[in-house]
Chain A
Amino acid sequence: AQKITQTQPGMFVQEKEAVTLDCTYDTSDQSYGLFWYKQPSSGEMIFLIYQGSYDEQNATEGRYSLNFQKARKSANLVISASQLGDSAMYFCAMRGVSGGYNKLIFGAGTRLAVHP
């Protein structure tokens, strides 16, 4: 069975500093995908970044990068130069397979607070 673990219920960071949000996963699939989503207090789910299991380079999207360590089964999100608007819940997710069809399973989330 696939599983996503986010061990940090809450994190805080000073504005303009970098922060790493941890995510570990468990799967027996050879091919899988890892995702990060942001959920601000307004409630919508915003897709941030994707890493495929066969991608050799770490994914980057603007200030977001994904530190993918396949052997350790970790997919940490790094946010550089934090901004006040980065305060939100962050969810790590993995594309698994159920009955031959893809589904995303989510971790419990990490609440990030950015302080001025």
Chain B
Amino acid sequence: DTAVSQTPKYLVTQMGNDKSIKCEQNLGHDTMYWYKQDSKKFLKIMFSYNNKELIINETVPNRFSPKSPDKAHLNLHINSLELGDSAVYFCASSQEGGPGELFFGEGSRLTVL
């Protein structure tokens, strides 16, 4: 059983299109995240949800809209895609208390042409 799963793993699309990435975790964690890894491998947090509530919203263009229908799911919708959105998007989850390490999904590679 995959602990944190993302779909799709690969997305290739044209500029201006809208796309979504879905994420599900079966670890029972309360907190989920979206991270963006750019072409230089730098990882930056985008959003975090705790029990369906948005708790962290870094300076991300409002073309990016996360949605958490329940605490096991966190989706990312991107409107009007731009070339600079090309990256690997990682979903992750963590449990409150304890070290708080992140459990990552396998990543979704988005390529905008």
Interface residues of A (CB under 8 A from B): 33, 35, 39, 43-45, 47, 50, 52, 89, 91, 95, 98-99, 101-106, 108-109
| Chain A proximity of B93: nearest CB distance (Å) | 12
Decide: B56 and A99 in contact? CB cutoff 8 A.
yes
Closest to A95 in B: B100
For B, the interface residue count at a CB cutoff of 8 angstroms equals: 25
- Check B83 for interface membership: any CB of A closer than 8 A: no
What residues on B are CB-neighbors of A44 within 8 Å? 104, 106-107
Cross-chain contact A106 with B43 (CB below 8 angstroms) = yes
Asked whether B102 is an interface residue with its Cβ less than 8 Å from the other chain, the reply is yes
B55 lies within 8 A of chain A by Cβ: yes
CB nearest to B43 among chain A residues: A106
- Judged by DSSP, the binding face of B is strand
Distance of A105 Cα from B88 Cα, bound (Å): 17
Are A101 and B55 closer than 8 Å at their CB atoms? yes
Cβ–Cβ contact A43 & B88, under 8 A: yes
Docked-complex contact B56 and A109, CB < 8 angstroms: no
- Give B43-62 interface residues, CB cut-off 8 Å to A: 43-45, 48, 50, 55-56
* Contacts beyond the supplied A44-B107, A45-B90, A99-B56: 20 A-B pairs with Cβ under 8 Å: A33-B99, A35-B99, A43-B109, A44-B104, A45-B92, A45-B107, A89-B41, A95-B100, A98-B56, A101-B48, A101-B50, A102-B94, A103-B33, A103-B56, A104-B45, A104-B102, A106-B42, A106-B44, A108-B42, A109-B41
Q: Determine chain A's interface SS by DSSP, over half rule.
A: strand
Q: Which residues of A contact B102 (CB under 8 A)?
A: 35, 45, 47, 104
Please, which residues of chain A bring their CB within 8 A of the CB of B45?
103-105
Interface centre among B33, B92, B100 (most CB of A within 10 A): B100
